[in-house]
Amino acid sequence: KELLLRVRGLKKWFPVKSTLGRTINHVKAINSVSFDLYEGETFGLVGESGCGKSTTGRSILRLIEPTEGEILYRGQNLLELKGSELRSVRQEMQMVFQDPHSSLDPKKRIGYAIEEPMIIHRLGTKEERTQKVFELLHKVGFSKEYYYRYPHELSGGQRQRVGLARALALNPKLIVCDEPVSALDVSIQSQVINLLQEIQAELGLSYLFVAHDLSVVRHIADRVGVMYLGQLVEQAPTEQLFSQPLHPYTKSLLSAVPIPNPKIKRERILLQGDVPSPLNPPSGCIFHTRCPFAMERCRTEVPQNKEISIHHYVQCHLYDETHEHH
Ligand code: SF4
Ligand code: MG
C-alpha cells in the first residue's frame, strides 16, 4: 500500500494569556504526535475526551494551525504550502463531524448542502453539479426526493449520511471522521459504519477515524493509535493492539471493556487519580502519575517511541532494551 499521509512531531499548544495579554502558559493539546496513513486504510485514533485526538484531526486539515511538526501529504509538507497550492491539496482532504446538525444550515435544502462545497471550489457547471448531487444521494442510500428536504426533516443517522455525501462531493482521498457515530443510537451506528466501509472499498479512501468507543474502532480500523494527554503512547495493527496491548494505559483502557472471547484472560487495571491538566503535564513519562508500573526513571526520562514489532510502536520504559521486559 502507498503512503498517503505522514505526520511527524505534530504539536499544538494553545497560549493562555493573562488579563494584560501576556502569554503565561500553554495548553499542550498535542505534543509530538507521529503516525502514517496508507491509501485505502483506516487509522483509528482513540483516547478519553480531551486527549487531543480531535485536535490532531483538525490540525491535519489545518482547520487549526499546528504549532510545530510535519504533515506530509503524498510527500508534500502541508505546513509549507500556501494559497492555491494548499487549497488544491485540501480539496482531497475532507471531514465528517460528530454532530452533522452543526455542519448543516437549517435553512438550506439537502441538495444544496451537498452541492455547496462544489460551488465554493468552482467545480463543474450547474447541471454537472446537480447530476453529481443525485449520484451522491444515491451513494449514501437516499432516494431522489431527499434533494428537496431540510435538515430538520431528517434523523441523526440520515443527517450523518448527508454529511458524508457533502464530504464526498469534492472527490477526497482522505476523510477525517471525528466521532461520526458517537451521537447516534447503537442500532444506527452500525449502519453508518457499514456505509463508511462500503464507500471506502468502492473509492479507495483513507480514513482517520477519531473515536472514544473502542468497539467501534476495533470494527472499522486497520491500525489503531492510543492517545493520552496529547501523546500517541501506542499504535499497532488493530487485532494486535486488542490481543497484545503493551502500554499500561492501553491495557487499562482495554481492561475496562468486556472481551468477546472468554478464553482470553485479561488483568483488570484500575487507574488512580484523574488525567493531569494539559497546562502542566507530568515530566518524564506523561503517564507516570497514574501508571501502576511506574519506575523511578519514569518521572524524569521521556520514553522514546519504539517499534517493537512491525507497525507496533510503544512509548514506555518497560520496553527499553536495557531493561527487563514485564
Ligand atoms: Fe508506566 Fe513508566 Fe511505562 Fe510510563 S514509562 S507507562 S510510567 S512504566
Ligand atoms: Mg473530540
Please write the tens of the pLDDT for every residue from 147-201: 999 999 999 999 999 999 999 999 999 999 999 998 898 889 999 999 999 999 9
Give the number of whichever ligand sits closest to the CA of residue 293.
Answer: 1
Percent of the chain predicted with pLDDT > 70: 95
**Domain presence at residue 119:** no
**pLDDT score at 260:** 66
CB 169 within 8 A of CB 115: yes
Decide whether any atom of ligand 1 lies within 6 Å of the 295 Cβ.
yes
CB 96 within 8 A of CB 176: yes
Residues 6+ apart with CB under 8 A from 186: none
**Domain presence at residue 162:** no
Give the integer Cα–Cα distance in Å for 60 and 43.
13
Decide whether any atom of ligand 1 lies within 6 Å of the 288 Cβ.
yes
Give the integer Cα–Cα distance in Å for 50 and 30.
10
**Domain presence at residue 325:** no
Q: How far is the CA of 219 from the centre of ligand 1 (A)?
A: 28
Q: Name 27's bridge partners.
A: 14
What does pLDDT average to over the chain? 93
Checking if the pLDDT of 100 tops 70, the result is no
**Domain presence at residue 34:** yes
**pLDDT score at 183:** 86
Instruction: ipTM value, please give it.
Output: 0.96
Which of 128, 127, 126, 199 is CA-nearest to residue 161? Answer: 199
Please write the tens of the pLDDT for every residue from 103-136: 789 999 999 999 999 999 999 999 999 999 999 9
Q: How far is the CA of 178 from the centre of ligand 2 (A)?
A: 7
Decide whether any atom of ligand 1 lies within 6 Å of the 226 Cβ.
no
How many domains are contained in the chain? 1
Q: Which domain holds residue 274?
A: 3-92+172-319
**pLDDT score at 102:** 73
**Domain presence at residue 25:** yes
Helix (H, G, I), strand (E, B) or coil at 120: helix
List, in sequence order, the alpha helices (H) in 153-301. Answer: 156-168, 186-203, 214-220, 238-243, 248-255
Give the integer Cα–Cα distance in Å for 250 and 238.
12
DSSP-assigned letter for residue 273: S
Which of 3, 55, 45 is CA-nearest to residue 238? Answer: 45
Atom number, ligand 1, closest to the C-alpha of residue 285: 4
**Domain presence at residue 166:** no
Please write the tens of the pLDDT for every residue from 236-278: 999 999 999 999 999 999 987 766 666 666 678 888 888 999 9
CB 225 within 8 A of CB 234: yes
Helix (H, G, I), strand (E, B) or coil at 162: helix
Please write the tens of the pLDDT for every residue from 35-72: 999 999 999 999 998 999 999 999 999 999 999 999 99
**Domain presence at residue 304:** yes
Q: Which three cell numbers stand for residue 94?
A: 475532507
Q: How far is the CA of 114 from the centre of ligand 2 (A)?
A: 24
Decide whether any atom of ligand 1 lies within 6 Å of the 168 Cβ.
no
Checking if the pLDDT of 34 tops 80, the result is yes
The protein residue with its alpha carbon nearest to ligand 1, atom 6, reads 316
CATH number of the domain encompassing residue 38:
3.40.50.300
Q: How far is the CA of 6 from the centre of ligand 2 (A)?
A: 21
